[in-house]
Structure 1
Amino acid sequence: MFYSTIPEPLCFAFLMIEGQSMMSLASATEPLRAANRLLQREAFRWELCSLDGHPVQASNGLPFHAEPVEIGLSRNHAIFLCGGFRVNPVDERPYLAAMRKAARGGLAIGALSTASHLLARAGLLDGYRCTIHWENRAAFEEDFPHLSPTGTLYEIDRNRLTCSGGTAAMDLMLRIISDRHGADLAQSVANQFHHERIRAANEDQQGGKLQRMNALPQPLQNVIRQMQGNLETPLQIDVLAEASGLSARQLERLFRFYLGMTPVRYYLSLRVERAREMLLYTEQSIMDIAIATGFASTSHFSKWFKEFNSITPTKLRMRSRLKRDRELQDRFVSGDPG
């Protein structure tokens, strides 16, 4: 790990993006503060940065004072990009440039929550394991087919650290604390936040339909995983049943009993859910999204999308863009322009 031989204090910079997740940032920094207090020395140091040193508002509207990122690059061992709301493509360039400069300068590179997307865009995850929040995984895989996000809570691969966001950032930092100062200190830090169990890097995220899947019978889990892996070219139900050692009729009974719908409708729901994520988190055309989720035409896609979401794909994308632009405008109007 990059931090194995660095003397104290181990220093982190957090490059904040407008609309960042406050939960992720707090989960990353508070364990460092608690570790210092329990050790009674400054074993860790951190600072908050923005592109220009102006305050940044989190997704909940709270402002954070910041240092210019140029200063942060000069006095830290690692830098995390803090994700949250999706960054408009036209605004990505300065963040990509800052992270590339950090990498050239030898800093370890990290991402919280959705910021893995920007690291991938900068080419900084090529050849590394990585993860991203489960809600953004489909869009990530479509935009960067050469990368394979693991779906785990966090990943530490040499000098790259990626985290799925939320409280998973705490588990990532507790791992670093444990590696540098022992498991007992890490557990003591976790206890400060009533974090009952330190989760390992290889634990999967629980979100969306995955949250319920572990409670299902194994044959049903197997079929659902087959469905999830074949959204672009959907498999026939009898093929799925045979692969799991079931008849089509047995499979239908299992789906109706445990999930309240037929296998065909559940498969459709998975495809529509993937399409929804792509509409919200990518710039791909509706035609491309329809093809990527196994629909033969945009009209067929729109029909089923509206069936599950009570809104057409076009209207959902338009509403999402308007909402995002309005929220960003409101934050800039109410915030300190610097």
Structure 2
Amino acid sequence: MPTPFPVSLILLPGFSLFALGAVRSVFTAANEVNGEVLYKITQYAVEGPQVLAQCGIALTAVPLEQLNLQQNGFLMIIGDERVDESITGIVSKRLQSQFNQIYNDSGWIIGACGAGSQVLAECGFLEGYRAAIHWQILADAVKRYPSTIFTPSLFEIDRNRISAGAGAAVLDLLLHWLGLRHGSTFAAEVAAILGVDRLRSSDERQPVPASAQPALGSARLKEALELMAANLAEPLQAEDIAQLVGVSRRQLERLFRQHLDTFPSRYYLELRLKHARRQLKQTTQSILQVGLACGFTSGPHFSTTYRNFFGYTPREERARHTMPQIHTKNSEEDIQ
């Protein structure tokens, strides 16, 4: 029996559980179609033997420090919207040490979905390659990594580098990749097992929420949104934002009402609160630390504002998302 092709999945903190499920389901179905274990998955956690998904569910996995890549295989980094700089540094250091000799080997497939492409770019593994990345960080990635051709496409397959944008795009990516590797009939059988009746092509763009689209048509509004996103811990005043983007405060309010049907202050508050919610779900920072990092002056101020917006307190939010635990084996697992 041929040796199964190793699949190494690196789960970034706050990764998409949906994306992970899609990846594992594709390879499980591929094994079913093949009739024997064709692909063998091991999943790795960046920090310690456990990692928290974006939805608050914890999974156990092999610590990243134990990653020991062979001479060929499939590596994919699974993230969601954004990656903490410290996490990027940890993954980059480990991958660069592992791939120092072999990462350009034609036997290796190196991939990412969501914000995982940011990590690959930081490692230098995407220089001169086309790549997809989560639409929320596309603009920033284009600026930060000019040697990588980031696109708004659902996914990209460029030689031995593969990448997907947000959510379900990784399913389309892997089914197309299986078609290239094993033939279209094999990929169609895998798709049938998964109940997929239409594959989206790589030239389709990632769907972007209507609330985020107007910024593409208004340079000043786009600048204002970027300023807000970059200044969550120390929120800017509306007058300062207006001055920085070159409009009056009244003009800024008109732009927000016209394109987003809200006021700058309301949008900014919602942005900070949603970021706080992600931090409560994905990190172990204290509630006070989260509040201060999102621009609230005290614990009570943060708690009251959070409850008024979401209907429950930060403490209740954390309790709702840290109790569920799903544990998987922390050693290599054959998927049958």
1:325 aligns with 2:279: yes
1:149 aligns with 2:132: no
Give the CA deviation at 1:85: 4.6
CA contact (8 A) 1:138 1:278 kept: no
Matched residues, percent identical? 23
Give the CA deviation at 1:203: 2.7
Q: How does 1:189-200 map to 2 (within 5 A)?
A: 189-200=190-201
Deviations along 1:252-284, one digit per CA (max 9) or x if unpaired, are xxxxxxxxxxxxxxx44x753575367447999
Q: Which residue of 2 aligns with 1:99?
A: 95
222, 225, 228: which one pairs with 1:276? 225
Q: Which residue of 1 aligns with 2:287?
A: none
CA contact (8 A) 1:50 1:68 kept: yes
Distance 1:145 1:274 in 2: 20
* 1:96–1:299 Cα change, 3 Å: farther
Distance 1:281 1:334 in 2: 31
Letter in 2 for 1:193: L
Q: Which residue of 2 aligns with 1:178?
A: 179
Deviations along 1:66-97, one digit per CA (max 9) or x if unpaired, are 11224333346232111125233344321221
Distance 1:129 1:310 in 2: 37
1:168 aligns with 2:169: yes
Give the CA deviation at 1:184: 1.1
Give the CA deviation at 1:158: 2.2
Letter in 2 for 1:81: I
Q: Which residue of 1 aligns with 2:263?
A: 310
Match of 1:73, SS? coil
Letter in 1 for 2:130: R
Match of 1:121, SS? helix
Q: Which residue of 2 aligns with 1:73?
A: 68
Letter in 2 for 1:325: Q
Give the CA deviation at 1:39: 1.1
CA contact (8 A) 1:99 1:109 kept: no
* 1:91–1:44 Cα change, 3 Å: closer
Q: For this pair of structures, how many residues does the alignment match?
A: 275
Q: Which runs of 5+ in 2 are unaligned?
A: 104-108, 285-317, 331-336
Distance 2:231 2:151 in 1: 19
22, 25, 28: which one pairs with 1:27? 22
Deviations along 1:194-252, one digit per CA (max 9) or x if unpaired, are 2111223233223235999xxxxxxxxxxx9xx94xxxxxxxxxxxxxxxxxxxxxxxx
TM-score scaled by length of structure 2 = 0.68
Distance 1:180 1:41 in 2: 17
| RMSD value, Cα | 3.7
TM-score scaled by length of structure 1 = 0.68
* 1:57–1:298 Cα change, 3 Å: farther
Give the CA deviation at 1:103: 3.2
Give the CA deviation at 1:29: 1.7
Give the CA deviation at 1:189: 0.9
Give the CA deviation at 1:164: 0.8
* 1:13–1:208 Cα change, 3 Å: same
Q: Which residue of 2 aligns with 1:295?
A: 245
* 1:45–1:143 Cα change, 3 Å: same
CA contact (8 A) 1:59 1:85 kept: no
